[in-house]
Amino acid sequence: MEILGIDVGGTGIKSNIVNIESGTLTGEKFKLKTPAPSTPEAIIDCLKSTVENFNWTGKRIGIGFPAVIKNGISLTASNIDAKFINYNIDAEFSTALDCDVTVVNDADAAGIAEMTYGKGKGVQGMVIFITLGTGIGSAVFYNGQLLSNTELGHLKYKKSIFEKYASNYAREFHHLSWKKWAKELDIYLNHLNLILSPDLILIGGGVSKNFDLYKNYLNVPVKVDTASLLNDAGIVGAAMAAK
């Protein structure tokens, strides 16, 4: 079965048609810049262009979105317009796209894909999957079961929260060297290890492909690896959520 998967991020909106059985992308990836301001109207315009780009006539669309999503409602908005707080996201997107749209947290979506098709497959105990992008997203699994909407990027750190220091955006914004940025990431990973004692930490998001540039600066007493689906996990997992 093929489903259109869309990964809405704070910086870009990526999409592709996903073969749900194999977890592979079947078309050519389509990318748009996240509009500023990223209001519901502006995001819906991008979603419409995405549907048009793929000539999507299927009944279902899955979307990963950078917010806490409960019962079809987006409840938070850290890297997206505040109009998404308490927004009836499943229903509004479904009406706008004339399709059955399922929206889930972006990191949860990517984590599910990685646990099904990637390095998390079959791993027992606790796996923490984190995405390092505009923000820090998290998906926590225990014996393969997702504990949704964990928001571990929002743990308090210094004068703010960890995602302001250890996300890829923070690295770029503050012009940090890989070494300097990895120091913050290392503190973050050690903090996660302290409070949750995971068996495996998987890193996804755009910066996962640069792992060689910073892995030697990480000193965490638990296995840390990159997600094998790298930055595509969000698209694959979004489509899976709509299955």
Of positions 38, 74, 76, 231, contacts ligand BGC by CB under 6 A: 76
Tell me the C-alpha distance between 13 and 136, whole Å.
16
Tokens for 170, please give them: 């923070």
Q: CB count, 10 Å around CB of 225? A: 15
**To 5 degrees, how large is the angle CA 208–CA 236–CA 5?**
120
3-state secondary structure 157-179: ECCEECHHHHCHHHHHHCCCCHH
Contacts with ligand BGC in 150-169 (CB under 6 A)? 151, 153, 163
**To 5 degrees, how large is the angle CA 156–CA 167–CA 163?**
15
Q: CB count, 10 Å around CB of 160? A: 10
Residue 67 interacting with ligand BGC (CB under 6 A) = yes
Give the residue with the Cβ less far from ligand BGC, 56 or 168: 168
Residue 66 interacting with ligand BGC (CB under 6 A) = yes
Contacts with ligand BGC in 163-202 (CB under 6 A)? 163
The number of residues making up the chain comes to 243
In the complex, minimum distance from the CB of residue 234 to ligand BGC, in angstroms, rounded to a whole number: 9
**Count residues contacting ligand BGC (CB under 6 A)?**
17
Residue 79 interacting with ligand BGC (CB under 6 A) = yes
Residue 131 interacting with ligand BGC (CB under 6 A) = yes
- By CB atoms closer than 10 A (0-12, 13-18, 19+), residue 66 is buried
Residue 78 interacting with ligand BGC (CB under 6 A) = yes
Residue 107 interacting with ligand BGC (CB under 6 A) = yes
Piece of 18-26, 36-44, 133-141, 174-182 that binds ligand BGC (CB under 6 A)? 133-141
Piece of 12-20, 55-63, 131-139, 184-192 that binds ligand BGC (CB under 6 A)? 131-139
| Residues of this chain that bind ligand BGC (CB under 6 A) | 9, 66-68, 76, 78-79, 105-107, 131, 133, 135, 137, 151, 153, 163
